[in-house]
Amino acid sequence: MKDRISALVFILLGVFFLVGALKMPRTTEYGRYGAPGIVPAFFSIMVILLCTIMLLRKEKVSLTDSKLSSETRKAENRRLLLAAAMFLAYVFLLGKVNFVVLTSIFLSVSSSIFFKKRFVPLVLSAIGVTVGIYYLFARVFLLPLP
C-alpha cells in the first residue's frame, strides 16, 4: 500500500511538471530543438513511467517494517508532529522576533518538551548555545542572521 501511495503522489507531481513543460514555447531563436520544455517533458515522462511500473507491480513487502506496538507508534507519531509544529513555528517567527531571543526560547522549550528533565539547566544551556551560534556566525564569520 505504501508503494502505491508514493507512486500516486509522484505520478501527480510528474503530470504537473509535464503539463508545465507542454505549455512552454515550442520553438526558439535556436530552432525547435532549443525549446525549454523538451528536457523537463522527458524527465517528467520518465517519472510517470517508472511510478506507473511501481503502481502496477505486485505489492512488495516493506523491508524495514518495524515491529513496534501501537502505543509506541502513537507516541512516536505524537513526538513527530510536535517536532514538526515547533520547527514550523520557529521558521515562521524568524525575522519577526530577535534571533537570540527566539532561538533561546525555541531551544529551551523544545529541549524541555522532548527531554523532560531539569528545566533550569536546559534553559541556561539553550541561552549559551544561542549566544555561541550568534557569536560564531555574526561576529567571527561576519555572516547575516535573520
**Rounded to the nearest 5°, which phi and psi values hold at 31?**
95, -175
Q: Note whether 80 binds another protein by CB under 8 A.
A: yes
Nearest to 55 by CA among 2, 1, 14, 4: 4
d(CA 123, CA 139): 23
Q: Note whether 47 binds another protein by CB under 8 A.
A: yes
Q: Note whether 114 binds another protein by CB under 8 A.
A: yes
Query: At its nearest, how many Å lie between another protein and the CB of residue 72?
Result: 6
Q: Note whether 79 binds another protein by CB under 8 A.
A: yes
Of residues 8, 15, 26, 28, which one binds another protein by CB under 8 A? 28
Q: Note whether 17 binds another protein by CB under 8 A.
A: yes
d(CA 100, CA 133): 9
Query: At its nearest, how many Å lie between another protein and the CB of residue 118?
Result: 11
What number of CA atoms fall less than 13 Å from residue 58's CA on the CB side? Answer: 1
Q: Note whether 101 binds another protein by CB under 8 A.
A: no
Q: Note whether 115 binds another protein by CB under 8 A.
A: yes
